[in-house]
């Protein structure tokens, strides 16, 4: 009887300690989240503005909630590992803070924005440990892909892709019997000139289908090699579909300029993405059937 009476207060005190630990944990999370919000509020708002105004990065609006959903759906796997705080994560946290400072001083948005993702990785590593961090690798990769490329890199890719799409699109149109003369990124037809602008370079579909390759690889394939192959395959696929889009515009413009530059020009952008996503999904299924372990 005395033992039973003594065990009750001990159980109650243990429950009180657990509640106290939970309160301290949420307090720590609240402090860290508040500090990150104060540091990165303007950075995240500016990045959201780029997602809203730049078609090449519009998929960024979907990536944070998608990353959070995948992490939440796999929470049992993550929480299945014990919490083992790791001081090595503090080094990565310090690197993220240094990147943030350098990005601000140099007015380099890419470094500042990427420092947010690295800081998240560093904090998870520090407080939860490497085992839990590994289970969150794919959601973190999605967060990294939400950051737009540096402007200099984007421009250096856009110009060659414009010329490539113009050149190959003109050759395809000529093979189809259309009289075409190309001067740089200008495609001259009999009655109209078509300019392959930066928006038609293929970077819009390239960025969207690259993310699609990541998602299909994660959802369909089980081997890392298959996922890498699928992601790499999205690059030539996006470029090739954009070339066909330019060639189709040139061929249709030779017959009906209004139709080619109106309905078809708007519709073909969605068609490139939908058809590219369909091809990627089928390729993912093939990779899973042939290359993934049974």
pLDDT digits (tens, 9 = 90+) for 110-131: 999 999 999 999 999 999 999 9
Mean predicted lDDT score pLDDT of the chain: 83
**Residue 73: pLDDT over 90:** yes
What element of type H or E holds 183?
Answer: strand 181-183
**Structure tokens that stand for 166 in this block:** 């113009």
**Structure tokens that stand for 278 in this block:** 């369909």
Contact, 186 vs 263, CB < 8 A? no
Task: Please give the Cα distance from 108 to 270 (Å, whole number).
Answer: 32
Task: Please give the Cα distance from 166 to 99 (Å, whole number).
Answer: 39
Question: Residue 66 burial (CB < 10 Å; 0-12/13-18/19+)?
Answer: middle
pLDDT, mean of residues 238-243: 87
Domain residue ranges of the chain, discontinuous segments joined by +: 2-147, 152-290
State how far the alpha carbon of 282 is from the alpha carbons of 139, 216, 218, 239, 275, in Å. Answer: 23, 10, 14, 18, 11
Task: Please give the Cα distance from 187 to 197 (Å, whole number).
Answer: 11
pLDDT level of residue 3 (50, 70, 90 thresholds) = very low
Question: Helix count (H) and strand count (E) of the chain?
Answer: 12, 3
Question: Residue 116 burial (CB < 10 Å; 0-12/13-18/19+)?
Answer: buried
pLDDT (0 to 100) of residue 20: 56
pLDDT (0 to 100) of residue 264: 66
pLDDT level of residue 156 (50, 70, 90 thresholds) = confident
pLDDT level of residue 175 (50, 70, 90 thresholds) = confident
If DSSP states are collapsed to H, E and C, what string results for the chain?
A: CHHHHHHHHHHHHHHHHHHHHHHHHHHHHHHHHHHHHHHHHHHHHHHHHHHHHCHHHHHHHCHHHHHHHHHHHCHHHHHCCCCCCCCCHHHHHHHHHHHHHHHHHHCCHHHHHHHHHHHHHHHHHHHHCHHHHHHCHHHHHHHHHCCCCCHHHHHHHHHHHHHHHHHHHHHHHHHCCCCCEEECCEEECCCCEEECCHHHCCHHHHHHHHHHHHHHHHHHCCCHHHHHHHHHHHHHHHHHHHHHHHHHHHHHHCCCHHHHHHHHHHHHHHHHHHHHHHHHHHHHHHHHHHCCCC
Hey, is 186 helix, strand or coil?
Answer: strand
């Amino acid at each position: 009887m005395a033992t039973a009476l003594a065990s009750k207060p001990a159980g109650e005190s243990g429950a009180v300690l657990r509640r106290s630990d939970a309160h301290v944990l949420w307090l720590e999370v609240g402090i860290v989240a508040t500090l990150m919000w104060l540091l990165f509020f303007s950075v995240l708002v500016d990045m959201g503005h780029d997602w809203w105004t730049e078609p090449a990065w519009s998929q960024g609006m979907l990536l944070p909630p998608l990353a959070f959903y995948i992490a939440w759906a796999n929470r049992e796997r993550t929480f299945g590992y014990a919490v083992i705080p790791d001081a090595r994560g503090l080094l990565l946290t310090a690197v993220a803070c240094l990147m943030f400072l350098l990005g601000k001083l140099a007015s380099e948005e890419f470094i500042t924005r990427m420092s947010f993702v690295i800081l998240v990785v560093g904090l998870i590593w520090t407080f939860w440990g490497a085992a839990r961090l590994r289970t969150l690798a794919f959601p973190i990769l999605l967060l990294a892909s939400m950051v737009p490329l540096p402007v200099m890199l984007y421009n250096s890719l856009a110009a060659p892709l414009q010329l490539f799409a113009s050149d190959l699109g003109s050759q395809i149109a000529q093979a189809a019997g259309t009289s075409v003369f190309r001067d740089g990124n200008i495609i001259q037809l009999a009655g109209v000139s078509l300019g392959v602008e930066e928006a038609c370079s293929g970077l819009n579909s390239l960025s969207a289908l690259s993310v699609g390759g990541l998602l299909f690889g994660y959802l369909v394939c089980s081997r890392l090699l298959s996922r890498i192959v699928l992601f790499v395959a999205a690059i030539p696929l996006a470029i090739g579909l954009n070339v066909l889009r330019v060639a189709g515009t040139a061929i249709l413009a030779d017959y009906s300029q209004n139709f080619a530059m109106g309905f078809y020009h708007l519709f073909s952008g969605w068609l490139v993405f939908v058809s590219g996503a369909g091809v990627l999904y089928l390729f993912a299924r093939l990779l899973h059937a042939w290359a993934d372990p049974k």
